[in-house]
Amino acid sequence: MLSEMEHEFEDETRITARLIDLICEMTIVQQLNLLRELDTRDYRGGRSDYRRSRKIAVDYEFDNRIHRDFIHDISAAGVFIGTHSPPSVGELITLSFSVAKGKKPLTITGRIVRSNDRGFAVDFRRSTRKESSE
């Protein structure tokens, strides 16, 4: 039997996955309108993007090898991935992970913006900015 906390996490995961599905089905204009609406509300608690602590398995490639580690926290802007062998800051990286069991994995590209002995941070917004200037 699942504990109350496990039920809450599972429900929250399903809600998040459903929201992502709905957003992916929207046109870009609908997504921008939704974003503007949500930006007028104060969800963030002082951060530029609301960060959620989660342990989510993630696959990514660098050094010509596929790596599997865990996302430790996630927001609309990026993730922090725990690992003992992080890639270098500035590298473009593609991540693949699923936010809910049985759901199709998301594939998102970003740039490494921070790296230390505990892992590395990926900023999703920086991939397009840097690519367009290269």
Residue type, 89: V
pTM of the model: 0.58
What are the respective helix, strand and coil percentages of the chain, to the nearest 5? 30, 35, 30
pLDDT in tens, 19-57: 888 888 889 899 888 887 876 665 544 445 566 677 899
Radius of gyration of the chain (CA): 16
Q: What average pLDDT does the chain have?
A: 78
Sign of CA dihedral 16, 7, 56, 97: negative
Residue 127 has pLDDT above 70, yes or no: no
User: For residues 99 and 122, is the Cβ–Cβ distance under 8 A?
Assistant: no
Quote the CA–CA distance of 81 and 78 in Å, as a whole number. 10
SS3 22: helix
